[in-house]
Amino acid sequence: MSSVPTSSPPLHRLLAQCADAVQAVRDGHSLTDWLSRCPAELRPGAQALSFTVLRRLGAAQAVRAKLAPKNPPPRVDALLVTAIALLWPGETAYAEHTLVDQTVHAVRQRAANSAGFVNAVLRRFLRERDALVAQVEADPVARYNHPRWWQERLSADWPAQWQGLLDANQQRPPMTLRVNPAHGDAAAYLARLAEAGIAARPAGDLFPQALVLDEPRPVQALPGFDAGHASVQDASAQLAAPLLLGQRRPQDLAPGEDWAVLGAGARVLDACAAPGGKTAHLQELGGNALDLLALDADAKRLERVSQNLGRLSLEGSVRAADARDTAAWWDGRPFDAILLDAPCSASGIVRRHPDVRWLRRPGDIPSLAKIQAELLDALWPLLKPGGRLLYATCSVFKAEGQDQIDAFLQRHGDARSREFTRGAGHLLPLADNAAQEDAPRGAPAVTDGFYYALLQKSPSSAPL
């Protein structure tokens, strides 16, 4: 069931906006960027509908092709596909006749001559829906609502889990908070949420600051949000700061592994920092006493880093630069620790960004892997001997995870990868990959898909 605001604008306007969003994605544009330009009063409803449609886009396009083999004009086609996806079994948030009527209304305002055609197609879909759904689900793109190349790559990387990963991407993700320890622990904030009538639960012992809400809420409804008492951040993303700073529990380390906790004054680089969630988490755990530099190539996105630090009353230097071009920004002082949250396919966060699967192309993965390798090689010399670098991607593709690190270790004899019993390596967004004891039956996985590798530089490595 799609969630839409109770005081929603007319449905035909939302459908038109949703169709425009779908067409923008089909034209290769980011849904996030498009929604940022959507009229404010329409944005919540348009986003809710477009998320549903993009999760069903493969199936809806296949049905439209059967019902209307000749392609309609793009804007009419987008409205047709939008309506079919919203009429899909299990997805209807409105009475069927209302959805059909309002779609036809939207078509009349854009292409009046096509209104009768759209009405006929949608009514035929409702009459023959069960048979059409069964027919198109024989096509893997319609069955899994992911491009075929994506399915093949997942199948090669995760032969036992690939279907589960595709199905997980169709779920709506939980809203997860990170409690700021400067204002109390997670148990205290959980009590504050309960007082505010907001149901939540701990994410599990691997994520001591994380609370999962039963239902998403506007951040303004969260106690103390504007004062920095909590932030919104997926549980997987909350593993980065404690991994880099050495604040994981001893039982999470593999036998024989140990390392010092980084303390006040440690020089830390967040190399691809925007929008700043992990940057802020580093300073939260570092007691706001790290010598922290947040770097990002996108000056506009860096504004979010400064805003996040400011809301949480945290310190840190923020600079716009390409981390690979070290001559342009590095002052020659080596770092104790570096966080490299590298640009990637975002294949691990598809449930939060359902457009990603339709925007990526097969050639993007080797191109992104090349950039990741360039970043690793450029930043490694900036570490002190004995320093550590945490490589992270929000990807489930091995080319951007374990394969990337295996190749790096071959190139750099002064590096080794630290070992953990859990909470590092490839983290898959499946329900059995994190503590779920208190989760409601059928709840989505607590974690998004991520990859983490903590690389240690040899103490005897020659400095620059």
Over residues 44-52, the mean pLDDT reads 95
The strand ranges marked E within 138-186 are 176-179
Q: pLDDT value at position 432?
A: 59
Asked if residue 69 is part of any domain, the answer here is yes
Asked if residue 72 is part of any domain, the answer here is yes
Asked whether the predicted pLDDT for residue 159 surpasses 50, the reply is yes
pLDDT band for position 4 (cuts 50, 70, 90): very low
Rounded Cα distance between 235 and 425, Å, is 15
End position of a domain, from candidates 99, 126, 145: 145
Rounded Cα distance between 225 and 410, Å, is 45
Q: Please check whether residues 239 and 132 belong to one and the same domain.
A: no
Q: pLDDT value at position 437?
A: 41
pLDDT band for position 443 (cuts 50, 70, 90): low
Over residues 411-434, the mean pLDDT reads 87
Q: Please check whether residues 252 and 134 belong to one and the same domain.
A: no
CA 340 and chain centroid, separation: 16
Q: Please check whether residues 276 and 406 belong to one and the same domain.
A: yes
Q: Please check whether residues 325 and 444 belong to one and the same domain.
A: yes
Q: pLDDT value at position 462?
A: 60
- % of the chain at pLDDT higher than 90: 87
Q: Please check whether residues 133 and 257 belong to one and the same domain.
A: no
The helix (H) or strand (E) run that includes residue 59 is: helix 57-67
Asked if residue 220 is part of any domain, the answer here is no
Mean pLDDT taken over the chain: 93
Q: pLDDT value at position 102?
A: 97
pLDDT band for position 438 (cuts 50, 70, 90): very low
- What are the angstrom distances between the C-alpha of 346 and each of 130, 214, 266, 362? 33, 25, 30, 13
Residue 323 is part of a domain; what is its CATH number? 3.40.50.150
Task: Give the three-class secondary structure for 348.
Answer: coil
End position of a domain, from candidates 113, 145, 177: 145
pLDDT band for position 441 (cuts 50, 70, 90): very low
Q: Of residues 106 and 433, which shows the higher confidence score?
A: 106
Asked if residue 125 is part of any domain, the answer here is yes
End position of a domain, from candidates 145, 163, 196: 145
Q: pLDDT tens digit string along 117-132?
A: 999 999 999 999 999 9
Half-sphere exposure (Cβ direction) of 387: Cα atoms closer than 13 Å: 23
First-to-last CA distance in the chain?
57
Q: Please check whether residues 315 and 432 belong to one and the same domain.
A: yes
pLDDT band for position 434 (cuts 50, 70, 90): very low
Amino acid in position 397: F
Residue pointed to by tokens 């607590």: 446
- Given a contact cutoff of 8 angstroms between Cβ atoms, the answer to whether 66 and 138 are in contact is no
Asked if residue 172 is part of any domain, the answer here is no
Q: pLDDT tens digit string along 223-277?
A: 999 999 999 999 999 999 999 999 987 778 888 777 789 989 999 999 999 999 9
Asked if residue 407 is part of any domain, the answer here is yes
Strands 230-232 and 291-296, bridge-based pairing: unpaired
Q: Name every residue whose Cβ is closer than 8 Å to that of residue 264 and which is 6 or more positions away in sequence.
A: 286, 287, 289, 290
Asked whether the predicted pLDDT for residue 30 surpasses 90, the reply is yes
Catalytic residues: 394
Strands 210-213 and 176-179, bridge-based pairing: antiparallel
Over residues 193-199, the mean pLDDT reads 97
pLDDT band for position 436 (cuts 50, 70, 90): very low
Domain membership of residue 319 as a residue range: 234-457
Q: pLDDT value at position 370?
A: 98
Q: Please check whether residues 351 and 240 belong to one and the same domain.
A: yes
Q: Please check whether residues 242 and 138 belong to one and the same domain.
A: no
Domain total in the chain: 2
pLDDT band for position 445 (cuts 50, 70, 90): confident
φ/ψ of residue 325, rounded to 5: -90, 70
Q: pLDDT value at position 460?
A: 81
In 3D space, the residue among 454, 448, 332, 337 whose CA is nearest the CA of residue 392 turns out to be 454
Asked if residue 309 is part of any domain, the answer here is yes
Which letter does DSSP use for residue 145 in this model? Answer: S
Q: Please check whether residues 132 and 277 belong to one and the same domain.
A: no
Look up the pTM and report it. 0.93
Q: pLDDT value at position 463?
A: 55
Over residues 279-299, the mean pLDDT reads 96
Residue 138 is part of a domain; what is its CATH number? 1.10.940.10
Asked if residue 174 is part of any domain, the answer here is no
Q: pLDDT value at position 464?
A: 52
Neighbours of 131 (CB within 10 A): 9
Q: Please check whether residues 258 and 399 belong to one and the same domain.
A: yes
Provide the token pair at 387: 């320093």
pLDDT band for position 3 (cuts 50, 70, 90): very low
pLDDT band for position 69 (cuts 50, 70, 90): confident
Rounded Cα distance between 324 and 340, Å, is 11
